[in-house]
Chains A and B, each alone.
Chain A
Amino acid sequence: MKLSIYRYNPEKDARPYMQDYEVQLEHSDRMLLDALIKAKAQDDSLSFRRSCREGVCGSDAMNINGKNGLPCITKLADLPQHVTLRPLPGQPVVRDLIVDMTQFFKQYHSIQPYVVNHEAPPERERLQSPAQREELNGLYECILCACCSTACPSFWWNPDKFVGPAGLLQAYRFIADSRDQDTAARLDNLEDPYRLFRCHSIMNCVDVCPKGLNPTRAIGKIKDLLVKRSV
């Protein structure tokens, strides 16, 4: 198969360019990441992140034929013979397919991603009913790969001001947790023309999430809570 890959080494390239690689696939190659590793065996300067190779660590997010995804769980059988790989859109490129994710993590950190409970912890576990726990499904599974936020036009325009779908999904994960007592402060933190309300329900995030999560729905729930609180 043919891979056209975005190349940029800031030490020698005035501007980025696309480079083609012909890769001979074997029967044991199942995923796009396998092909990418073969390309790197031809040219060790080709740079990308990867780790778990099973879609749980979130390292290898990139833009695959125009759509963000994880090559480690993108089946070769589902791809055309010619695949174009670019770094995640809208992020500063460090080198080749490696982007600087500082802004993305800064937004994640800004939503206070941890359970806050002001009572002294009991001797045993805090109780939570199966129904309360169920509220966290579809939220806690996020792998912070950034496929969603970097597919979001609102995040492209205002990465410093708009939290973005990944961060907002996690904001709702903590609001939804029956053990968390900081809902009011969490809503205050998001009641802002940019932080939450730059989401215009374009739903690119839902379209690209490799874990099948739905940030738009979570954002809608936060908006509902803000409306409810104001009346």
Chain B
Amino acid sequence: MSLALPVRKYDAIVVGAGGSGMRASLELARAGLKTAVLTKVFPTRSHTVAAQGGIAAPLANSTEDNWHWHMYDTVKGSDYLGDQDAIEYMCRRANEVVVELEHMGMPFDRLENGKIYQRPFGGHTQDYGSAKMAMRACAAADRTGHAMLHTLYQQNLRANTQFLVEWMALDLIRDPQDGAVVGVTALEMETGEVSILQAKAVLFATGGAGRIYAASTNAFINTGDGLGIAARAGVPLQDMEFWQFHPTGVYGAGVLITEGVRGEGGYLINKDGERFMERYAPNAKDLASRDVVSRAMTTEIKEGRGCGPEADHVLLKLDHLGPEVINQRLPGIREIAIKFANADPVREPVPVVPTVHYQMGGIPTNYLGRVVVHEGSNHESIVPGFYAAGECACVSVHGANRLGTNSLLDLLVFGKASGEQVVKDLQTSPKPHRNLPKDAGEQTRARLARLEAAGSGERVADVFAELRRTMQAHCGVFRFPDDLAKGVERMKAVAERAARVYIQDKARTFNTARVEALELDNLVETAMSTIVSAEARKESRGAQARADFPERDDKNWMKHTLWYKEGNRLAYKPVQLKPFTVEAFEPKARTY
């Protein structure tokens, strides 16, 4: 381990080959930049593959629609924590990126007139929040993410993108002069070799970290690698207290059941068979925003109206849609319900429970995908050479709560925008690679050397399980002051244990124990940032619902949280309330 790490040089490196990473890499490959896309799994195995319901775009194929309405819904859905410049940017580019995806070969479902099929989705309305829902979710049955991820991979093949498959990024390398990012260290899993990948631009598209909760819709690979890497390198994480609990995870298994089920006409019932959302959201009912529906479900369960012997879940009813609609529009859901819930939705309702699904926070970026940090009075200070897009980034378009189908849109718009920005930055003022700092790779070598040397200590699986239990118990749908304070202490103990983990397997070849130990470091940063940020925010907004501060407090808390690993410290920055070309949407009470 004392030898210098081998160095590979690229113009640009993309970390992650999900929707945003592959949308970005397409721009880089087409521009002829020497690019490598690092990915822990073969690209089509990235978690974008599991997205189901659709991609938001105001194509107006079935109902009248426009980007202004979409923008309003997104701002309102964010509970006024979203940055309105970025939201305007996303909504205005939605039609462009979705049509482009269609041209790439995306197998969207179709209407009789041959246009893309669109379905209603939670929180998407016509005419600035009227009771009329907009049909805005462009869908490929209930496999939209799968279809999109494969389409993007196919286009990258065509563009000759270079993938480094089953490579895991480990740490960021920054120039000590000005903090510019000049590369990453990475582990090639098959050989166990660690290298420095040097680049003029590093773009993170590493996805979310839903695995920090015990019950999660997320894949095993969603361990917040980009967040952990950024945090260790001194970059703050923004708005990490905001985690979306998806209303319909399969009870007991966590697997996702798309909101598209409710878009197609399904609804939730309690043990009395009551369609309870009518009480909580008289207009939108089951198509209220996800935070609203998840709180309503949790309240039903808490007040004793849950279903099953433990009264700990509710039911999603869709049999009334008929086998034809279910088989044509929701075939994947039927498959999942039969396999994971032992319930065929054609005949019986599916037991569901709010389940952690999506991280609204992440690495702070502007709408062009450039990572920005807070320095003195400038909260938009650019980190040279560093970009982020997709779930690992916080642009922030989702604010305190994301609308369904806006995530795939986020991947496309900001994947493309960040790719375009990298091309522009590298081509308008071409510069040679900066020299690597003398200690490049030292941090990584130290982490690996400790794991190599440790012959005893904590087991990775035990510490990880404790981390997930802690987050589940202390930072859920409803948050309580004592729980949060205790949770912070419990997480500190988890972090201490994580520093003492050991692995028995010391092999070089495809050592998944080592990968899991390295992932644990990233999970710890993500979980710690979440619970510390949640404990500090003394209000309820979007996905953060505090029992002791049940109201939104715009006067004191309409601001973004920034968490720094060093010192476990928090700072805040203002929300961008000014869009580019339209009037700002002023905060008002949020009802559906």
Contact = CB atoms under 8 A, between A and B. Distances in A.
B397 interface: no
B99 A179 contact: no
B49 A109 contact: no
Interface stretch (A14-22, A137-145, A218-226): A137-145
Contacts, number: 148
Given A114-B158, A126-B102, A94 B510 contact: yes
B143 A141 contact: yes
A201 interface: no
B146 A10 contact: no
B220 interface: yes
A95 B508 CA distance: 11
Interface stretch (A46-54, A147-155, A156-164, A191-199): A46-54
Contacts of A141: 143, 146
B168 to A, nearest CB: 13
B445 to A, nearest CB: 21
Contacts of B516: 44
A45 B49 contact: no
Nearest to A43: B504
A11 interface: yes
Interface stretch (B6-14, B103-111, B268-276, B477-485): B103-111
B50 A57 contact: yes
Contacts of B509: 9-11, 94-95
Given A30-B253, A44-B503, A114 B105 contact: yes
A133 B154 contact: no
A203 interface: no
B339 A55 contact: yes
A54 B157 contact: no
Nearest to A28: B252
Interface stretch (B39-47, B375-383, B582-590): B39-47
Contact of A130 (B110, B255, B459, B510): B110
Interface residues of A, number: 57
Contact of A121 (B46, B103, B150, B511): B103
Given A129-B110, A130-B111, A144-B44, A56 B105 contact: no
Interface string B499-511: 0000111011111
A125 B100 CA distance: 8
A94 B219 contact: no
A82 interface: no
Contacts of A127: 110, 113-115
Given A57-B49, A109-B157, A114-B158, A30 B44 contact: no
B512 interface: yes
A126 B460 contact: no
B135 interface: no
B147 A140 contact: yes
A122 to B, nearest CB: 8
B49 A52 contact: yes
Given A30-B253, A125-B115, A128-B110, A9 B190 contact: no
Contacts of B505: 44-45
A73 interface: yes
Contacts of A49: 41
B112 interface: yes
Nearest to A73: B339
B221 interface: yes
A214 interface: no
A51 B47 contact: yes
A66 interface: no
A53 B336 CA distance: 11
B5 interface: no
Residue of B103, B112, B158, B512 ringed by the most chain A CB atoms within 10 A:
B512
A59 B154 contact: no
A148 to B, nearest CB: 15
B107 A94 contact: no
A50 B41 CA distance: 9
A131 to B, nearest CB: 9
A9 B509 CA distance: 8
A112 to B, nearest CB: 8
A114 B104 contact: yes
26 contacts: A9-B507, A11-B508, A12-B507, A30-B252, A30-B253, A44-B504, A45-B507, A47-B512, A53-B255, A56-B332, A105-B42, A112-B158, A114-B105, A114-B158, A115-B154, A125-B99, A125-B115, A126-B103, A128-B110, A130-B109, A133-B109, A140-B107, A141-B143, A143-B44, A144-B44, A179-B105
Interface of B: 41-42, 44-47, 49-50, 59, 99-100, 102-105, 107-116, 140, 143, 146-147, 150, 154-155, 157-158, 190, 219-221, 252-253, 255-256, 332, 335-336, 339-340, 459-461, 503-505, 507-513, 516
Given A44-B513, A129-B112, 7 more contacts: A11-B509, A47-B511, A53-B219, A53-B220, A94-B509, A115-B105, A121-B100
Q: Which 10 A-B pairs have the closest CB atoms?
A: A127-B114, A115-B105, A44-B513, A45-B505, A114-B154, A57-B45, A125-B102, A52-B219, A121-B103, A95-B510
